[in-house]
Amino acid sequence: MDEKAQRVKDLLASYYGADDEATGDSDATADATGRTGTGGGASAAEANSGKGSSPRLAARSPAPSAGLDSAAFDDERYLSSLLQKTRLDGLLSKHSEMVSEIQTLDGDMQMLVYDNYERFIAATDTIKRMRSNVEGMEGQMDKLLEGMDRVAD
């Protein structure tokens, strides 16, 4: 990308807060509208001079090690990066992929609920059988205790 296009891209990114919000720069300040600027007197030319550009660029893309299931996953950063870097056909493909994955996960969840329900019913039946067995044993234990008392006397 030529220098002018890169500068325009960086200016737009700084205006919409794509770079500063993703990195959590301490120099970034946000006004009431949510727009960000650089604090400490740094100009756009200084920001484009390459100073500190690698941390900003690294922070733009979602961390590959922080998967969707990770506790460290930043959904806003991921979505922002996806919208900025992916063409429309890629977004539609990603949408279809996610819909399919959601349907699969819903099916898996329903199976887990069904399996757990079956286990719950089986456990309830087992507890009922144990209760009836224990109730029958109480009478027998009383008779045994009476017999032991007679033998002891």
Q: What is the pLDDT of residues 93-144, one digit of tens each?
A: 999 999 999 999 999 999 999 989 999 999 999 999 998 888 778 888 888 9
Indicate whether 32 pLDDT > 80. Answer: no
Same structural domain, 108 and 122:
yes
Same structural domain, 34 and 51:
yes
Name residue, tokens 């390459």.
50
Which has the closest alpha carbon to 59: 93, 91, 84? 84
**Domain stop point among 30, 55, 85:** 85
Total structural domains within the chain: 2
Same structural domain, 125 and 152:
yes
Same structural domain, 11 and 76:
yes
What residues make up the domain containing 35? 3-85
Which has the closest alpha carbon to 18: 38, 2, 40, 35? 35
Same structural domain, 92 and 45:
no
Same structural domain, 72 and 131:
no
Rounded to an integer, what distance in angstroms lies between the CA atom of residue 107 and that of residue 11? 45
The answer to pTM > 0.95 is no
